[in-house]
Amino acid sequence: MVYVSEYKLPHKLTAPHLRLGLHAMDIHKEVVNRKMIPTSVDPVARFQYHAEKLTASAITQTYHYMIESGLGYGLLTTGARLLCFSTSTGTSLKLSEPGPEVLAHPNNIHTCTAVGQYLAFTLMALGPPGGRQEIGQEERLRATENLKTWPEDF
């Protein structure tokens, strides 16, 4: 196995949710243990809260599968959007929206399509010849023991 791939229904994890909810944050502090949940009095703050919660729960679920599988790469997709994970240099995420990216870059269509982005991600996950190493069982157990848990169901 090269990487974990997780699919989420696009009507449950929408483009606005991903765009707004995807930013640098301490998920455990800012989402899981959040003190105040916005009410319907402030619809913008309430949407921001739900975007962060949905995005964070989808990310943590995929990350959990990566750790369990001993893989450094993971992909979360809604069909129209791809969220690529890498733990090789810390945890990094990249959101791709092939449809709008193809329209925005007509001279580089081959790199912007979903197929092009899946291919690029797969090649990154494969790494250089002979350079890819799987994470051993002991390291996976150590990582699992050190991670905080979140009993959230997406």
Please write the tens of the pLDDT for every residue from 6-33: 999 999 999 999 999 998 888 888 888 8
Q: pLDDT at residue 149 above 80?
A: no
Q: Which residues neighbour 26 within 8 Å (Cβ) at sequence distance 6 or greater? A: none
For 94, the 3-state DSSP assignment is strand
Alpha-carbon span 142 to 70, nearest angstrom: 11
Q: What is the pLDDT of residues 113-127, one digit of tens each?
A: 999 999 999 998 888
For residue 60 the two structure tokens come to: 């943590």
pLDDT of residue 152: 66
Q: pLDDT at residue 153 above 90?
A: no
The secondary structure of residue 41, as a DSSP letter, is: T
pLDDT of residue 25: 85
% of the chain surpassing 70 pLDDT? 92
**pTM for the whole structure:** 0.81
